[in-house]
Chains A and B, each alone.
Chain A
């Protein structure tokens, strides 16, 4: 008998010999299914009752099913023989895009699902862009595509000057030298991304700000005042958690639509609903004192509800 994970998380005992016996039985059953799938594939190609589109669709589905079966066989053999798994492992035969997520669960059975990434304003919680990659890539790989999406949204503004991103904050998972360099090249400060587990200073000295600007080689593009604000708007777990909690309450926690495409639809709709609720809070002035202070510092004038266009419907 073998144990893994913390006992408080549920049953951690596994009967290895029983698992091995069951695996052999299941694989023997599966072999017949593979043969059937291959025969069906041949039949699909020869039959005249199906259209070309239908034939292609069935062919793709059957090829994928056989490929996934092969991958599951290899995976289960490695597991039962105590060999390490390869990076891309299948956790659901019906949806190969789901991946294991180890985030936030040390020494516990791994959670399976998806890992959406968001980029938002820390003051009010407005989410500018969201991304749902296939599998479970590193957190660093989320940043640049999300920044691209925000810059694409900024480029759509026509009636006022195009805004730009001054600084970007994140947790220790996005601490990467290459990423920092590419963000600096775009004129974005990275003072909100920590380099160690030490907490960030919210009010650094002027000398420290000048040094940060010089390190990023942005002392001509960004002012010390912007650097000061970037430090104040640094990564804060409670702030990020509040945004995530709002998204989870709108259905982003449990993705109910099928497949990666369904998950994308559900996440985007949840984000849009959350954004609308955020704008509603801004319009009615129901903001935290921190958010109000940030808005004052960023010269975001309070909206006059009498001047808001009524003809949206």
Chain B
């Protein structure tokens, strides 16, 4: 319940709390994936960086969403191929996602629509700077090496191109797709009209 208090105030509902770990089997891919991260050091690094760069002038006001939840959601987005909205909605209903976000217990509260709003993820991302991202990757690599899982003895370097995509569909793309679709449809309709056996 400790982490719950850091989440939105309306997260703690009424009734018996459910233990998330009891519902997610140990063989579940998301649970196994989440257990590989050194969460304590990652969260400490993010908190330290944010406290230095964005100091909070007062301790008053509503408690923020826990860094652990936001960081896990951002990583889960890539693992589960979700958008911000989809992952936030999965956090509300999927116990495996709750486990990955470090939520130990949850109380059922049906009218509650969201645990975390998608807008918060955008804000969290905008605060991550390059040195912090490099530090997070280094911490993960150091934890893996410390565990004996990997060794940097022989390494390989390479580059690969990534195109800059756009989430919004522009007018040109819509027009192009519409033309293509209409051509395909007309071709299909012509084919269906043609009698069988005719080339």
Contacts and interface: CB of A to CB of B under 8 A. Distances in A.
Interface in B150-164: 150-164
B164 A263 contact: yes
Interface stretch (A69-77, A111-119, A196-204): A111-119
Contacts, number: 256
A139 interface: yes
Contact of B133 (A126, A268, A298): A268
Given A272-B136, A279-B149, A165 B155 contact: yes
Contacts of A268: 133-134, 136-137
Size band of the A side of the interface? 35 or more
Contact of B165 (A104, A157, A255): A255
Contacts of B162: 113-116, 252-255, 263, 267
A165 B152 CA distance: 6
Contact of B148 (A128, A244, A303): A303
B78 interface: yes
A264 B36 CA distance: 22
Interface string A63-101: 000000000000000000000000000001001001001
Interface in B47-79: 74-79
A284 to B, nearest CB: 7
Given A253-B162, A270-B78, A121 B34 contact: no
Task: Decide if the interface of chain A is mainly helix, strand, loop or mixed.
Answer: mixed
Interface of A: 92, 95, 98, 101, 103-104, 111-124, 126-130, 139, 142-143, 146, 149-150, 152-154, 156-160, 163-171, 173-174, 192, 226, 229-230, 233, 235-236, 239-240, 243-244, 247-248, 250-257, 261-273, 275-280, 282-284, 294, 298, 300-301, 303, 308, 312-313
Interface of B: 21, 29, 32-40, 74-79, 81, 99, 102, 104, 125-126, 128-130, 133-134, 136-142, 144-167
7 contacts: A122-B154, A149-B137, A165-B155, A250-B78, A272-B78, A312-B38, A313-B35
- Which 9 pairs show the lowest CB-CB distances between chains A and B? A254-B165, A233-B154, A156-B142, A113-B163, A153-B138, A279-B36, A273-B78, A153-B141, A268-B133
